[in-house]
Structures are given as C-alpha cells and as structure tokens.
C-alpha cells in the first residue's frame, strides 16, 4: 500500500497525528531528499527507516521497482515539504500504483497552494494554476503571453511559482507583462519569515526585501 503524506512547509510541528503514525508504521519512505526527510523524522523521534529517493533526477526505469515495493510493503510518499504529487515526481509513482491495482491512500495536510489562496483574501470560484513557468527565455515569454490571452477570455486569476532564486526575476517579469494588475505574493509560508505582499508588481517589488525565498504568486485579472 502507498500512502501520500503531507509534510510541513515551514514549522516541523505543523503535521497531523495521522501523518506521524503513518511515517512510524511505514517500512519504506519514498522522498525527494533523505536529508530533508530525515531531519523531519528526527524532530519527531522517528528513526531506522529505509529510504528510496524520487527526485527530479530519477530514472523512469525505477518506477516499476518502486511500484512493486508498494505492493509488498507499507510505503509512505513524501515531498521535501507540503503535499506530495503536487509539482514533484511523486505523481509518477501514484499513477503507476493505480494502474497496477495497488491501494493508494492520503494523509491530508499542508499545501502551499491552499495557503496562498486562503491568505489572499480573494473570493475565487475558479483559477488557473500555471505553476512553474519555463526557464528558457522564449518559452517563458510565451507563457506570459498565454496568460494575457487567458485573462482576456476567462477573467480567471492565475497562480504562478518558480524556484527560490528566480523570485526577483519573476517579479520584474510580472511588472513588464502585468504592470497594472493586482498580485499577491506569499513567501516562506509556514516559517517565522512568512510574508504576504499585495499590490501591483512595481509596489510589491519595492516592498520585497528578500532576494531568494520559496514563493507563490496569485495574479488577478483586471
């Protein structure tokens, strides 16, 4: 059986009792980073676990082997933080287990997406989750143009994210493409450094003191 376990985004104590019990009982833990996961487990007095790594460098050929582990053992899937299978390779093992008829369960918990939306103060009936935009300049520019087109057609808010070191870069890009739109920037959710800034991109850019942080952005249509 495979159980998806949501882990804390910032504070190690923001985890459910069900999640802790699942991690204690797990025979194998599939994670993005043994370093990050072992720190969480040590904090809660859990040790002696067998780890399997499923990160952005994993080999597709590993999926069948990991799938069979889930058939024979109690396996927990975690990401470095938040809910596994959301913008990480965990979705591949979930899909493989479902196709193989292996039971998949969930321990609900921390989610950066839901954290952003609840902090935004915006009533959303629907939104576009665009997630990570491409790294390449041409593809990145096209992604922003596609969002502009979507705003014209649907009037849906869009949620964007990127790696921590592209925080300042993305704010500058949003200033260029969506300079008169209101946005909500949430950084380092769940930590003492958590910060939420709202306003047009130029205002947010002036208020932002961080050059690097985990972040998510919600851009509102006009």
**Helix and strand numbers, DSSP H then E, in the chain:** 8, 10
What domains, with CATH codes, occur in the chain?
Answer: 2-107 (3.40.1010.10), 112-219 (3.30.950.10)
Q: How far apart are CA 135 and CA 145, in angstroms?
A: 15
Q: What are phi and psi of 162, to 5 degrees?
A: -165, 180
Q: How far is CA 145 from the centre of its chain?
A: 24
In sequence order, the 6+-apart residues with CB closer than 8 A to the CB of 76 are: 2, 3, 4, 5, 22, 23, 26, 28, 29, 30
Residue 82 banded pLDDT, cuts 50, 70, 90: confident
Q: How many residues does the chain have?
A: 222
β-strand pairing of 157-161 with 50-53 = unpaired
Model confidence pLDDT, tens digit, residues 39-71:
999 999 999 999 998 877 777 778 899 999 999
- Orientation of helix 167-177 relative to helix 137-154, angle to 10°: 50
- Across the chain, what does the average pLDDT equal? 91
Q: How far is CA 81 from the centre of its chain?
A: 7
98 three-state secondary structure: helix
Taking the model in full, what pTM does it have? 0.80
What mean pLDDT is predicted for residues 143-161? Answer: 92
Model confidence pLDDT, tens digit, residues 109-140:
888 888 888 888 888 888 999 989 999 999 99
A 10 A CB-CB count for 83 gives 24
Share above pLDDT 70 across residues of the chain, in percent, rounded to a whole number: 100
8 Å CB contact between 113 and 66: no
Q: How far apart are CA 214 and CA 166, in angstroms?
A: 10
The yes-or-no verdict on residue 29 having pLDDT over 80 is: yes
Residue 222 banded pLDDT, cuts 50, 70, 90: confident
Give me the pLDDT at residue 184, please: 96
Model confidence pLDDT, tens digit, residues 164-196:
999 999 999 999 999 999 999 999 998 889 999
Residue 202 banded pLDDT, cuts 50, 70, 90: very high
């Amino acid at each position: 059986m495979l159980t998806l376990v949501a882990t804390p985004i910032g504070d190690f104590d923001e985890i459910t009792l069900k999640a802790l019990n699942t991690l204690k009982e797990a025979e194998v833990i599939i994670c993005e980073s043994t370093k990050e996961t072992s720190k969480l487990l040590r904090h809660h007095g859990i040790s002696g676990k067998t780890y399997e790594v499923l990160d952005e460098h994993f080999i597709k050929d590993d999926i069948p082997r990991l799938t069979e582990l889930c058939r024979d053992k109690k396996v927990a899937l975690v990401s470095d933080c938040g809910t596994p299978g959301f913008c990480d390779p965990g979705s591949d093992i979930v899909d493989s287990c479902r196709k193989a008829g292996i039971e998949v369960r969930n321990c609900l918990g921390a989610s950066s997406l839901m954290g952003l939306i609840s902090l935004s103060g915006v009533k959303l009936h629907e939104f576009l989750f665009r997630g990570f935009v491409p790294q390449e300049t041409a593809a990145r520019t096209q992604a922003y143009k596609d969002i502009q087109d979507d705003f014209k057609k649907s009037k849906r808010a869009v949620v964007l994210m990127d790696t921590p070191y592209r925080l300042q870069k993305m704010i500058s890009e949003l200033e260029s493409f969506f300079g008169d739109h209101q946005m909500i920037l949430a950084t380092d959710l769940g930590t003492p450094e958590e910060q939420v800034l709202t306003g047009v991109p130029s205002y947010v850019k002036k208020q932002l003191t961080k050059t690097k942080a985990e972040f998510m952005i919600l851009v509102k249509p006009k």
